[in-house]
Amino acid sequence: MTAGSDRGVDMRTQVGTVALSNPVLTASGTAGRATELGAYMELADLGAVVVKSLSAAPWPGNPAPRVHPTPAGMLNSVGLQGPGIRAWLADDLPALVERGATVVASIWGRSVDEFASAAGMLAGARGVVAVEVNVSCPNVEDRSRMFAHSPEATAAAVDAAGRAGLPLWVKLSPNVPDLVGIAGAAIGAGAEALVLVNTVLGMAIDPRRRAYRLGSGAAGGGLSGPAIRPIAVRAVHDCRAAFPTIGIVGVGGIARGVDAAEMLVAGADAVEVGTATFADPRAPAVVLRQLRRWCARHRVRSVRDLVGSVHQGQPVVPLATEHAAVAGMPEAGGVEPGSISDGPGPGASRPEVVPVVGTEEPGAQAGDAVLLARVRATLDAIDQRVALQAEQVGHLADAMTALAAALGSERTGGDPGGAAGRDQSGAPDGPGQAAERPA
């Protein structure tokens, strides 16, 4: 396998007993309930489509406004709006099956009985390979907490969801002091995989109006996006250390292939891409393509080789090497074998290089490893810049389309809105936990 070819990378993975063609999935709440993202990518090419959380009966959700942007993500308080599982089975699931998508249904309930009812409705559903049990939702049987904030409540909800007769993935909240303990309760109740993590509790206030920015008021909302990725990575890492054989799906702030790689190395078998679809509805496909290239560049023959590899404790090159490379490649001949430069200018220090284990010629081999790592990291940085530029070009194209439509409507006296922009073409309906795309 050459660094320039990604066709030799085995992308197959497995979450619990569920085999997947690759480890990139959509996140519940951001992919809609059916084929909303199908206009931007082939849904069958993804590892799975995880649909928006559904309850047994229709649910109206929270009052508007429901979403608010933050510097590194967004807050949402959609409130799990949905048509109910019966309507979803009749109106939405068939289209997903027809597109060849691998479907994971997500369910929620306000009581244990509601989880049992929702799960029972999914029993025998054609095309559904697993059920994601969203216990990160209000528990009306104990209004002071969520199911995911209690080991006992989590176990009860998971046990009730067993009525689906399908593999159970349990989506947990990071807003707890002992996530590993609650994860253990979910596993003990029958979960074969953990989905880590849901949104982080947050709030936004308009100081000028002295008012809450979300319609949920003092209840606040859930923070998603890049800001929570380190939290999700830590949760995945700690749960993999505690449960070496359990299935784990990492979710939270994944927008690039290298983000997915980080989550896999921490211990995830697969990842979900969510809030990134707001910047680009093609985000899951982009992450999958970048992850495949990243694996080829770093000579990873199978993504399964990445899963939990940080726990093996065998780094190949110093961490400082990757950081130094992002700053820019040195000029030819500017790197001394066995050392790395941490920047130009007089007095620049040269950190000690950790030798590569098992080499016959430590000096030369370490120097080669440093150079190779620099090249790889620089290519990663270029990949990221290209992805950002492509996103910006897409936004510019949307703006030009909208401008052309507005100019045309002025000449014809028609509606300036027209059909320009992504909002008219089935964009995803929200970030984090079942959020909706703002008007």
> Hey, what are 243's tokens?
């449960």
What pLDDT does residue 145 have? Answer: 80
Note if 137 is an active site residue. Answer: yes
**Mean pLDDT of the region 330-354:** 33
Q: How confident is the model at residue 304 (pLDDT cuts 50, 70, 90)?
A: very high
What pLDDT does residue 345 have? Answer: 39
What pLDDT does residue 403 have? Answer: 73
Backbone angles phi, psi at 415, to 5 degrees: -70, 120
Q: CA–CA separation, 88 vs 287, rounded Å?
A: 28
Q: Does residue 396 form part of some domain? A: no
**pLDDT (tens digit, 9 = 90+) per residue, 140-179?**
776 568 999 999 999 999 999 999 999 999 999 999 999 9
What pLDDT does residue 220 have? Answer: 93
Q: Please, is 268 exposed, middle or buried when counting C-beta atoms within 10 Å of its C-beta (0-12, 13-18, 19+)?
A: buried
CATH number at residue 161: 3.20.20.70
Q: CA–CA separation, 378 vs 209, rounded Å?
A: 46
Percent of the chain with pLDDT over 90: 66
Q: Does residue 429 form part of some domain? A: no
Answer yes or no: is pLDDT of 388 > 90.
Answer: no
Whether residue 161 contacts residue 169, with contact meaning beta carbons closer than 8 Å, is answered with no
What pLDDT does residue 350 have? Answer: 34
Q: Does residue 50 form part of some domain? A: yes
**Mean pLDDT of the region 273-293:** 97
Q: How confident is the model at residue 228 (pLDDT cuts 50, 70, 90)?
A: very high
Answer yes or no: is pLDDT of 395 > 80.
Answer: no
What pLDDT does residue 431 have? Answer: 37
What pLDDT does residue 275 have? Answer: 96
Q: What domain count does the chain have?
A: 1
Percent of the chain with pLDDT over 70: 70
Selected catalytic residue, list 25, 137, 155, 170? 137
**Mean pLDDT of the region 25-47:** 96
pTM: 0.74
Answer yes or no: is pLDDT of 313 > 80.
Answer: no
Q: Does residue 401 form part of some domain? A: no
Least confident of 8-17, 38-47, 166-175, 373-382: 373-382
Q: Report the greatest alpha carbon distance in the chain.
A: 78
Task: Kindly list the distances between the CA atom of residue 429 and the CA atoms of 133, 254, 321, 381, 424, in Å, as whole numbers in the listed order.
Answer: 20, 17, 40, 30, 12
Q: Which of 172 and 366 is assigned the larger pLDDT?
A: 172
How many Cβ atoms are within 10 Å of 199's Cβ, its own excluded?
30
Residue with tokens 């995830």: 268
Q: CA–CA separation, 56 vs 116, rounded Å?
A: 9
Q: Does residue 267 form part of some domain? A: yes
Our CA angle for 382, 383, 386, nearest 5°, is 85
**Mean pLDDT of the region 275-301:** 97
> Hey, what are 51's tokens?
């649909």
Answer yes or no: is pLDDT of 355 > 80.
Answer: no
Q: Does residue 284 form part of some domain? A: yes
> Hey, what are 420's tokens?
């320009």
Q: Which helix (H) or strand (E) holds 202?
A: strand 200-202
What pLDDT does residue 85 have? Answer: 98
Considering the chain, what is the average pLDDT of its residues? 81
**Mean pLDDT of the region 353-357:** 34
| Strand 211-212 to 205-206 pairing | antiparallel
Q: Does residue 57 form part of some domain? A: yes
Backbone angles phi, psi at 194, to 5 degrees: -110, 140
Answer yes or no: is pLDDT of 246 > 50.
Answer: yes
Q: Does residue 122 form part of some domain? A: yes
> Hey, what are 5's tokens?
């070819």
Residue type for position 382: I
Least confident of 71-80, 402-411, 423-432: 423-432
Which residues form the domain of 266?
13-312
Our CA angle for 338, 340, 344, nearest 5°, is 145
Nearest to 340 by CA among 311, 313, 312, 374: 374
